[in-house]
Structure 1
Amino acid sequence: MAPDMDAIRAALARPGRPSSDYDLNPGTVLPEGRKLRPAGVLAPILRQGNGYHLLLTKRSSALKHHPGQIAFPGGKQDKGDADVIAAALREAHEEIGLPEAHVDVLGTLPAHETVTGFLVTPVIAYVKQPFDIRPEPGEVDEVFSVPLTHVLSAQNFVVQSRWWRGQRRDYFAVPYGPYYIWGATARMLRAWTDQLNT
């Protein structure tokens, strides 16, 4: 059973642990003094039928970085953004047409470090009224929803591995139907799952 919005808000208010793409690879040596670029992603929850669902995007196959991968709407913090929450809300509007006024921010998870040099803050939000989903051409191929119970259940996660830059790298995945949710997106979902159960 999916937690209600009050339970999610309470869980996000508790201290949590930062996560990274390297969590399952403890032998990775990261360079000292590396500079990480701040970014924000939005995890938009909406009510569909009798339950809650999470909106995710499938990135365009034409993109240079992470083509075709499943991701939260979001991106790097720009100079005009007040903070990473503002960045996540702006990017969600640009990528999927979600107006900021339709969103109730429930809280944030601790930041996640990616292999691409970003420090990503997941912003969890409830979509309080319907909106017309408009995928941004050239950036988003598809917007789809997944039951919140699926991506917030630890038993649905698996650990898989592949070779990357000459090294074997383990990572979380939480597949759903035809959608292969893995990497940073799956790791942030697993961190959210763990936060709800602490």
Structure 2
Amino acid sequence: KFAAVLVPLFEDPASGEVHVVLNQRSSKLNTHSGEVCFPGGKRDPADADDIATALREAQEELSLDPAAVRVVACLPPFLSKHLLSVTPVVGVIPPHLRFSPNPSEARGEETVFTVPLRRFLEAGPGYSSKDVEWQPGVPYRLHYFDYVHRGTSYCIWGLTAGMLIVIAEIAFGRTPDFQPNPPN
């Protein structure tokens, strides 16, 4: 099975920093409830490619006009814990876009927020990791980033955090302040 996510980036006009747009899924959803993620989902038969999937899902979930997105890269796919091949589609958006989560998609509880991209290279307060066995004999390092946005605390972890670390490494041309992978 195949999926794609849109990684919407913009430059904050006030600080000049690159931010990423994330959303927290409704706690009422059956899968991944309450988790922080990118807009995205499984490929539909009508989708021409990963870009089409990511843009369609972002429009459905956040009312993001595909014409407002300048796609700059498609990264190699990441394999989810459910063996779903997920392609990150990186896009640049205008800094002052307003997002309105679709009530039928979000079930009324979805939250959209932004985080400075550099945060995913920093090992300071709010960062932790845990080594787990992804498959028998295959170690995987889970990363956790706690982030407070407008008084609300969010935890960005798992596949989303893993993707953001790689994207931040590429964007800033440096490795993180922590070991991204487990030993061996």
The interval holding the TM-score normalised by the smaller chain is: 0.7 to 0.9
Q: Does 1:96 align with 2:59?
A: no
Return 5+ residue gaps in structure 2 as ranges: 176-184
Q: Secondary structure at the match of 1:155?
A: coil
Query: Is the alpha carbon distance of 1:90 and 1:66 closer, same or farther for their aligned partners in structure 2, counting shifts above 3 Å?
Result: same
Q: TM-score, normalising length from structure 2?
A: 0.77
Distance 2:19 2:91 in 1: 12
Q: Which has the higher contact order (CA 8 A, sep 6+)?
A: 1
Distance 1:130 1:117 in 2: 36
> Number of matched residues?
160
Distance 1:154 1:129 in 2: 23
Amino acid at match of 2:154: Y
1:69 pairs with 10, 18, 35, which one? 35
2:73: which partner in 1?
Answer: 107
Query: Is the alpha carbon distance of 1:110 and 1:197 closer, same or farther for their aligned partners in structure 2, counting shifts above 3 Å?
Result: farther
In percent, how many aligned pairs have the same letter? 37
1:193 pairs with 158, 163, 168, which one? 168
1:159: which partner in 2?
Answer: 129
2:156: which partner in 1?
Answer: 181
What does the per-residue CA deviation read over 1:48-94, in whole Å, with 9 as the maximum and x for residues that have no partner? 22222110000011111110000000001101100111100110011
* Structure 1 runs, 4 residues or longer, greater than 4 Å off: 161-164
Q: Secondary structure at the match of 2:146?
A: coil
Q: Secondary structure at the match of 1:87?
A: helix
Q: Does 1:46 align with 2:10?
A: yes
Offset at residue 43 of structure 1 (A)? 0.7
Between stretches 101-110 and 136-145, larger displacement belongs to: 136-145
